[in-house]
Structure 1
Amino acid sequence: MDWDQLDMDPRVIAAIKKANLRSIKEVLNLSGADLQRLTKLSSADVQYLLKAVSGALRKNSVLTALQLFRDENLSTSQRQKLSLGCPVLDGLLRGGIPLTGITEIAGESSAGKTQIGLQLCLSVQYPREHGGLGSGAVYICTEDIFPHKRLQQLIERQSQLRVDVPHDVVQKIKFGNSIFVEHVADIETFHDCIAKRINVLLARGMVRLVIIDSIAALFRCEFTAKDSVRKAKYLQIFGAKLHRLSSMFQAPVVCINQVTDTMDESRSGDRCSPCCTGKSVVPALGITWSNQLLMRLMVSRTGHLVQPAGDAPHRSTLRTMRVVFAPHLPQSSCCYTVNLEGVKGMRMETPT
């Protein structure tokens, strides 16, 4: 640390150098009494020193409650979102996925979780004015083979159907070359992946989106009921690392999660609604993982079939997306379908 770069009294700087304190971290790790003993400074000088190094360490100014309420800080603004590539689903989420924090998409098999993840991989590559972030995505697979064939279908169809994006812009986007696929099968490999490889991709600006499919698969076999404390520790470690990456690089982290059955019949809702499955399930991994999330979305597959718009020859299964919790959204829901064009929301009245 070059202490001469700090705007401090030369007398205090000389005392720090004489005490052989080489970094701000060393200074802040010492108590006021220890600093006085090492530097031979007065109590007032030590307080002055601590205030100066703390100000140098803090890169961003403190935000007031009024500024947060008005959403004035661009780095944390809820207006900054990643589009899902569908105006109906974007409307449900008031713009899309927040750029900082962990968003969970939980649901049963065949609910459309992976389809949403693939669509986000394409959306992130569009320019900001078209709902993207102008960068690539990294897709971490923990159990299944990455669906390359389905991705190619989406690339071909969406390059034809995104009428809101100029054709020359679409042609410049190399969808397939901007999606990095990582395969991990255990806790240690996953930890190494997010701590090293993903960090490098984000730091180089090659990706701005991290998708994990699925987070629950990592804990399915390695932990028993007796390992609950160790499991909770790993969940907290992973949550902290993912939050740090997301905040540092303004990159959304989307975790796909599985569900488990619950006996709570009150959660089944209105069985007469076309967007209700009548099933009662909860996301896996429990309360420890829930506390790591910024936003939780639940997706479900219903037993209803609808005729999709356009020339599609077959009817599609109706699915529903529900906002369980988010700091900026009310609990609400909407229906959607999955077809060759991707995930498409449907404008219809649904219960919350």
Structure 2
Amino acid sequence: MSSWRQLELHPRIVNALQKAGVQSVRDALCMSGPDLQRLTCLSASDVRRLLTAAALLCRARRPQPVLAADDFGLRLSLGCPVLDGLLRGGLPVGGVTELSGESGVGKTQLALQLCLSVQYPARHGGLDSGAVFVCTEDTFPSRRLQQLIREQSRLRADVPPHVTDSLQFGDRVYVEHAADLTSLESCLRRRVRLLLARHLVRFVAVDSVASLFRSEFGLSDWLEKTKQLLTLSSTLHHLCRQFNSAVLCINQVTDIFSGSEEYMGPPSSTVRPALGLAWANQVMVRLMLRRLRGTVSRGEEDSALRRLEVVFAPHLPRAGRDAAVWKEGVRGLDGADAPLG
């Protein structure tokens, strides 16, 4: 507990606090302004000065405007220059990013791709650390992960072969399973936190956030659902800020009906991210991966056409890039890749 000697307060204020039996900064912050006034007989201006000084002492670091932080913030590369260009370098480190989309569109594959990208040195867009993948609905796609590992030299042709060959990708991806909200919260607060504290990981993927809320709450449980959403969000934000890590939450989507209210999704989309505005207000970056009509071919491979879109972000405009899923992963399309009808 912090003592009053750590604060630059007038001795008169400190004496009043000690006479009233308020021994620590924590004690003062647990009281309201009027209660402190009545207890210490200090003026309203003195109490405001006291609470401001106490809050400044408890603050871990000075607040920084998001746009100012963006100039110096770390990014976690997606492993594709086209998609990294859309996101100005990749996912922001120290923030929560949401990726929503329909089933089978490639959300999990992109999360797996990031689990490998984080292991590269910073000069190649990584964080030189591991990843933890938290599954809440399906089994972990280990076979697809192994395929992505085998194809890394093809996806990351920009990285010298000796760097890629030196990385033990499979040994630095940790897998957790959570069957309900209680076990998810426990997993994040204990096991994931331990991995972060030991510097074993700096990327956390949760696949998905919506499944547990949909299975545990009905329409009449909206208040409790909102409380649980805020609790989960608080935990994720605390982890990514304390350990300077990137967090990706995969979300499901729901259909949009005519006359629906603003849903904070792409204007041309017929679906919207699940969990409503309560969750939307908790994420720093919202991305959506959509399936488009048409296919794209490359040699003997064909892929359905996708589009990765920025729905909102404090440092990015609304924009999108076409993409496709290949053996080596999700890649944005450039001018050389022509979609077929």
Output the TM-score relative to the length of structure 1. Answer: 0.81
Give 1:14 deviation, angstroms: 7.4
Alpha-carbon separation, structure 2, partners of 1:331 and 1:87: 18
Alignment of 1:69-84 (within 5 A): 71=68, 73=69, 77=71, 79-84=73-78
Alignment of 1:38-57 (within 5 A): 50=51, 52-57=53-58
Alpha-carbon separation, structure 1, partners of 2:45 and 2:255: 61
Matched, 1:304 2:294: yes
Residue in 2 that maps onto 1:3: 3
1:57 maps to a residue whose letter is C
Q: Deviations over 1:31-51 (max 9, x none)?
A: 567657767889887666545
For the 8 Å contact 2:133–2:176, the answer to whether it is kept is yes
Matched, 1:260 2:247: no
Question: Residues 223, 28 of structure 1: CA spacing in aligned structure 2 closer, same or farther, 3 A cutoff?
Answer: closer
Question: Residues 29, 320 of structure 1: CA spacing in aligned structure 2 closer, same or farther, 3 A cutoff?
Answer: same
Residue in 2 that maps onto 1:271: none
Instruction: Report the secondary structure of 1:315's partner residue.
Output: strand
Residue in 2 that maps onto 1:224: 218
Residue in 2 that maps onto 1:92: 86
- Alignment partner for residue 283 of structure 1, among 268, 273, 278? 273
Q: Share of identical aligned residues, percent? A: 48
2:54 maps to a residue whose letter is V
**Structure 1 segments unaligned to the other structure (5+ residues):** 267-275
Moved more, 299-308 or 27-36: 27-36
Alignment of 1:170-181 (within 5 A): 170-181=164-175
Give 1:327 deviation, angstroms: 1.7
Q: Deviations over 1:249-278 (max 9, x none)?
A: 222211111112223499xxxxxxxxx9x9
Matched, 1:131 2:121: no
Question: Residues 36, 292 of structure 1: CA spacing in aligned structure 2 closer, same or farther, 3 A cutoff?
Answer: closer
For the 8 Å contact 1:336–1:344, the answer to whether it is kept is yes
1:321 maps to a residue whose letter is L
Give 1:167 deviation, angstroms: 3.2
Instruction: Report the secondary structure of 1:143's partner residue.
Output: coil
Give 1:60 deviation, angstroms: 2.6
Alpha-carbon separation, structure 2, partners of 1:83 and 1:125: 10
Alpha-carbon separation, structure 1, partners of 2:62 and 2:254: 43
Alpha-carbon separation, structure 1, partners of 2:47 and 2:277: 43
Residue in 2 that maps onto 1:202: 196
RMSD: 3.1
Alpha-carbon separation, structure 1, partners of 2:52 and 2:34: 15
- Alignment partner for residue 176 of structure 2, among 174, 182, 195? 182
Question: Residues 161, 256 of structure 1: CA spacing in aligned structure 2 closer, same or farther, 3 A cutoff?
Answer: closer
Question: Residues 47, 230 of structure 1: CA spacing in aligned structure 2 closer, same or farther, 3 A cutoff?
Answer: closer
Residue in 2 that maps onto 1:151: 145
Output the TM-score relative to the length of structure 2. Answer: 0.84
Q: Deviations over 1:253-304 (max 9, x none)?
A: 11111112223499xxxxxxxxx9x972112222222122222211122342
Alpha-carbon separation, structure 1, partners of 2:2 and 2:207: 45
Matched, 1:314 2:298: no
Give 1:337 deviation, angstroms: 1.0
